[in-house]
Chain A
Amino acid sequence: MGIRYKKGRTANVWPWIAASLVGWGALVCAPAVAAEQSPGKSRGLVSIDFCADQYLLGLANKEEIQAVSFEASGPQSYYGGRAEGVATVKGSMEEILLMQPRFVLRTWRGGPRAKEIMARAGIPSFQAPYAIGIEDNIKSFTVVGERLGKADVAQVFVAENLARLVELRSLERSNLKAVYMTPSGFTAGRGTFVDDIIKLAGFDTIAEDAGINFWMSLPLEKLVMSPPDFVVATFFGDPDVHVSHWSGGRHSIYKQLMGDLPTIHVPSRYLSCGGAFAVDAAEYIRSEARALGLLSSEGVAGD
């Protein structure tokens, strides 16, 4: 009885084994097929994650780029427009080894042994440094530019951005206070690059008064007691962000704040990669604030 039972069980397992083998076969073959189909040029430059894409698309000519990551053309990508028509990769080492690019740029994707694996295959790579603060983020383009053989382009980018940064800091400041809002109900407080960008634009934020540190849910009770003067919002218009009754920012007070207060919608691409495009973001906030009457034409506080 027991033997017959066991035999029956063994026989039933075969379809599962066959299905598993087919599945594994498909998985194993997938990267190779993807790489063969990729229209990338041979021995070009490749970036394997979102922030590395920004460096590569910002500094290199399109003809030199063999592939960028699959995130490069998304709405949150600053250089999304330049990524159109460029081959994409998912960033796995197998994929990269098959492509044999001239140089691989990465920031976080690839894993701890990525450099070693690529070096063994004769593929030079560079992991861009993690920068904190607006100036360091801008200057990181110099380091990456040198490694990409694009030092001259990087130098122009950095010099121009630093000059605009100095100019922004020299402009008169407003004493209006902003709050940063996202569809998920999260806000950025002290110690975040978004807070730095709003301050760079010449405004203050409620982070200090409301005790908001880093990234956290918006403290609605505090906003009711001391409402901000205006809202800086991001991600609301992005096509892949679903705003619904169940989003973090669904509360009536949240909606009322955005309805009643002047709101500046900053395109999410300005906030990509930890503040690398902080100058653009700050200038955008300033120009929108002027249009909303939050700044006088001379750039002085309009309150």
Chain B
Amino acid sequence: MIKALADRPWAINLVLLIGLFVAGIVSGLFGQVNLSPFEFGAALFGGADDPISIIVRELRLPRIFIGMLAGATLGYTGAALQGMLRNPLADPGVIGVSASAGLGAVSAIYLGISAVSALAVPLMAMGGALIATLILMLLAARDSSILTLILAGIGISSLATAGVSLVMNFAPNPMSLQDMILWMLGSLENRTFDDLLLAAPFILIGWAIMVGVGQGLNALSLGSETAHSLGINVKAVRWRVVLGTALSVGATVSVCGTVGFVGLVVPHFVRAIIGYEPRRLLLPSAISGALLMTLADIFTRLPVGHGQLKLGVVMAVIGAPLFIYIIFKTRGNMR
């Protein structure tokens, strides 16, 4: 069945989209208040202003849409970065792009710039992501070995983490500290359509920049010299991935905090079904990222202990073992 699907990319995308739709519906049903499908439908399409309708329209829907948009971004950029760097470990979280975006967002909150303009947080998050991606490109573009990438990622992540620690160190009061810690843990709880409207344009611009890079990534998988000889503008492809990743991941982090490993886990599983061609990985990775994020968000609502599970924590629990597994599997190539 999987083999049959692998030959039909549209079929895989269709199956994933159906899965995403079902997951979206399930996500709408469960939470602090559990709803039946009938109640959910009535609240969604009825014009009433009762509590159930407010919960569905103002709490659940923004959460579902933001989760899908963020998951798609992280899945797509993970696949694009892996293609560009020819490395299965490239993920916005692992290589420090998400942490750098988080540093930008946290700095905006700490410095009080977020109170001046609502755009300050996404803009500074995107700035952080852009700087991290550029550094990564400088460090790893010429030498795309796994070891170089991991070391570059560790360096960028450490720098960003150090910056966040510094900001937290000087937090003026417990409230600011709580804001920052929550940001770093990643969450989709209590998000609004305003958040979606602020982040979505940047995410969509990021996606638009990366549309059509698949052919270039395919050529790059043969090496940059071969890609050149095939008439691919390697520089342009790299810049488009860098800019697109910075914009979309930065905006994603600004709206749902630092959620790692989606871009690592998703292309890894998609690759197992449809093979190693970078271009074919992009769209299914985006849909799978949205699906994974939605499922993980449902998981955060399960009653576990006395507290609340955060999305970033759930994804780390899923992604970190896989990260170690991939390192284990590819350790022979680490040079």
Which A residues are closer than 8 A to B by beta carbons? Answer: 74, 76, 182-186, 210, 213-214, 216-222, 224-225, 235, 238, 240-248, 250-254
Q: CB-CB < 8 A to B176: which residues of A?
A: 184, 240-242
Whether B306 pairs with A213 at a CB distance below 8 angstroms is yes
B58: contacting residue among A186, A243, A253, CB under 8 A: A253
B109: contacting residue among A74, A246, A252, CB under 8 A: A246
| Nearest CB of B to A274, in Å | 12
Q: Which 4 A-B pairs have the closest CB atoms?
A: A245-B118, A221-B32, A240-B172, A244-B114
B190: contacting residue among A185, A214, A242, CB under 8 A: A185
Whether B51 pairs with A243 at a CB distance below 8 angstroms is no
CB-CB nearest in chain B for A245: B118
Most buried by A among B51, B54, B175, B306: B175
| A247-B307 in contact given A221-B31, A222-B32, A225-B55 (Cβ < 8 Å) | no
Binary flags per residue of B96-117, CB closer than 8 Å to A gives 1, else 0: 0000000001001100101110
Whether B179 pairs with A247 at a CB distance below 8 angstroms is yes
Give the interface residue-count category, chain B: 35 or more
Whether A184 pairs with B175 at a CB distance below 8 angstroms is yes
Q: CB-CB < 8 A to B198: which residues of A?
A: 245
- CA–CA, A227 to B109, complex, Å? 30
Q: CB-CB < 8 A to A76: which residues of B?
A: 173-174
Q: CB-CB < 8 A to B194: which residues of A?
A: 245, 250, 252
Whether B308 pairs with A245 at a CB distance below 8 angstroms is no
Does B126 make an interface contact (CB < 8 A)?
no
Whether A184 pairs with B178 at a CB distance below 8 angstroms is yes
- CA–CA, A185 to B198, complex, Å? 20
Q: List 12 A-B contacts (CB under 8 A).
A: A74-B173, A182-B175, A217-B190, A218-B190, A219-B32, A220-B59, A220-B190, A224-B59, A235-B175, A238-B175, A241-B176, A242-B115
Most buried by B among A183, A220, A242: A242
Whether B178 pairs with A224 at a CB distance below 8 angstroms is no
A251: contacting residue among B173, B178, B192, CB under 8 A: B192
Whether A246 pairs with B114 at a CB distance below 8 angstroms is yes
Q: CB-CB < 8 A to B174: which residues of A?
A: 76
CB-CB nearest in chain B for A226: B51
CB-CB nearest in chain A for B31: A221
Q: CB-CB < 8 A to A217: which residues of B?
A: 182, 187, 189-190, 308
Tell me the chain B residues, 174-216 only, with Cβ under 8 Å from chain A: 174-176, 178-179, 182, 187, 189-192, 194-195, 198
Q: Besides A185-B182, A214-B306, 11 other CB < 8 A contacts?
A: A216-B307, A220-B32, A220-B190, A224-B51, A225-B33, A238-B173, A241-B173, A244-B116, A246-B109, A248-B178, A253-B58
- CA–CA, A210 to B176, complex, Å? 25
Most buried by B among A185, A246, A251: A246
Whether A243 pairs with B173 at a CB distance below 8 angstroms is no
B192: contacting residue among A184, A210, A218, A250, CB under 8 A: A250
Does B121 make an interface contact (CB < 8 A)?
yes
Whether A251 pairs with B118 at a CB distance below 8 angstroms is no
| A224-B54 in contact given A219-B32, A246-B109 (Cβ < 8 Å) | yes
Whether B178 pairs with A186 at a CB distance below 8 angstroms is yes
CB-CB nearest in chain A for B108: A246
Whether B59 pairs with A248 at a CB distance below 8 angstroms is no
- CA–CA, A146 to B306, complex, Å? 39
A221: contacting residue among B33, B105, B116, CB under 8 A: B33
